[in-house]
A and B are shown apart, each in its own frame.
Chain A
Amino acid sequence: MNNHMIYASHPIIWGTAILGIIIVLLQSGLIIKKSIAAAKDLRISNEQISKGIKVSAMASIGPALGVVGSLLALLVTMGSPVSTLRLSLIGSSNFEAMAANFGAQAMGSELSTNMLPVVFTNALWTMALGSMGWIIFVFLFAHKMDKVNGLLTNGRKALLPAVGLGAMLGSFAFFNVGNLMKFKTNPDVTVAAISGMIIMVICLKIGEKMPWLKEWALTFAMFGGAAIGLLAL
């Protein structure tokens, strides 16, 4: 009995996955509850709150499908419970497969549908240990980072929106430059990115007259961009 899949879908491993997911849901559930209470205290209307919830839920559907796509890649080698756990807790879609691979390679093996249980175990160790750095850093420093914002705005709160805007454009410019530079190797990615930009601009322009369109803009941009990227090439 040297196939790892018996263990990969063992009830005890399922138990750990369920526990991990409960912790993530617990954290966000508690924080959502506190946030809604605080929002009401700050006199944000119920209507604004429910609109925020509705639109962010809509904006999450596309990326959630993307994560499901990477789940499939992981399922075959790591099994359902571990894949579900890793993609809900700490991990992200492009990190996990790489980490699992490093773990298997450290045992002189590789990821496959038929691994020795001990290779599977080492892949688990690498996934967990390799992602601990983010948690430790955020645990230690997140509550001290207000000082960074204070430094960036020289203590002037009125400048905070500029900080957020600069950070958004700075980080997403980097992702887009990466996608635009793929025009030779993966032209479909480049087309999807550019189409996403154009659709967003159109939706926001027309949305000035039809407010409902603004709420759907991001959804249209991601699916429309993806569809054009797929069909154009």
Chain B
Amino acid sequence: MGIYNRYIDDVTKIGRSTMVLGLVASLLPALIMTFYFGFNPGLAAIVAGAISQASVSGAFYFSEPISYYPIVGRAGLYMGFLSGNLVNMRIPAAISAQEASECPAGTEEGSIMGTIGIGVSIWIGIVFLILSVLAGQALLSQLPPSFMALLTLVIPGLFGGVFAQFAIKSPKVAAFSLVVSFAMTKIVDFIPGKPAFLITLVSVFSSIIFAKKLMERNAK
């Protein structure tokens, strides 16, 4: 068995067992409020809330892991979904680590470096959260509104930057994916229930197929 296979087996064991622990931990506050402090909202309200939420996110439970798997790999899914904030923090960190170490995505080296990048971003994210909680609500609410407005614009700027970073590598695929995403956004508006998850799925998988065809043709 190769180095990489042994590594990914280890990661799978760590990933799956910590995910079960994480699931339990995420339920704890609700369990404690209900059974220790005795504020029971009743099964009907609990189910009603969960169903409202699942009707919005339900399709994303499937479409997001499937769409992001080709980008972050197995280890990335375990880390990204346990810690959240996959597209705005984990993916940019993964590609930054790959680019800086010159280990391209799609290789074993690249996937290991991407995983290290994701792990680093989790620690950075938690350090910032803890610092801001320690700073306290009172202090944070003193920040000027323009600073808060700047923070909300960081993510659009980031998404533009990440797209351009890859668009440079293959302008044709970039143009193709923009057209497909735009068309799908318009099409989904006409489908009852506006299933937004379809946009990502179609956009990701048609771009993959297009990129593959292009690479095959260039190889000839």
Contact = CB atoms under 8 A, between A and B. Distances in A.
B86 to A, nearest CB: 7
Contacts of B30: 121, 124-125, 127-128
A24 B103 contact: no
Contacts of B162: 168, 172, 200, 218
A59 B92 contact: yes
B18 A26 contact: yes
B109 A42 contact: yes
Contacts of B19: 27, 135, 138-139
Contact of B78 (A31, A41, A125, A133): A31
Interface string A138-170: 110111011011001100000111111111111
Interface string B167-182: 1111001101110111
B41 A125 contact: yes
A71 to B, nearest CB: 6
B40 to A, nearest CB: 7
Contacts of A75: 137, 140
Contacts of B216: 159
A65 to B, nearest CB: 6
B106 interface: yes
Indicate the size class of the contact surface on chain B.
35 or more
B26 A89 contact: yes
Contacts of B160: 176, 179, 192-197, 200, 221, 225
A195 B91 CA distance: 20
Nearest to A26: B18
A138 B65 contact: yes
Q: Which has the most chain A C-beta neighbours within 10 Å: B107, B152, B173?
A: B152
A138 B158 contact: no
B195 interface: no
Contacts of B57: 95, 130-131, 133
A30 B11 CA distance: 8
Contacts of B91: 168
Given A84-B133, A124-B30, A164-B70, A118 B153 contact: no
B187 interface: no
A70 to B, nearest CB: 9
Interface string B49-79: 1101110111011101111111100110111
B112 A159 contact: no
Indicate the size class of the contact surface on chain A.
35 or more
13 contacts: A20-B22, A28-B79, A28-B123, A51-B100, A69-B148, A124-B30, A131-B57, A137-B61, A170-B205, A174-B200, A192-B160, A196-B157, A201-B164
A98 to B, nearest CB: 7
Interface string A97-122: 01100110111000000000111111
Nearest to B116: A35
A99 B29 CA distance: 15
B69 A128 contact: no
Contact of B33 (A117, A149, A217): A117
Contacts of A106: 41, 45-46, 48-49, 52
Contact of B10 (A20, A34, A99): A34
Interface in B5-31: 7, 10-12, 14-16, 18-23, 25-30
B83 A88 contact: yes
Nearest to A44: B109
A128 B97 contact: no
A149 B170 CA distance: 20
A173 interface: yes
A192 B163 CA distance: 13
Nearest to B69: A145
Given A19-B28, A130-B53, A59 B157 contact: no
A213 interface: no
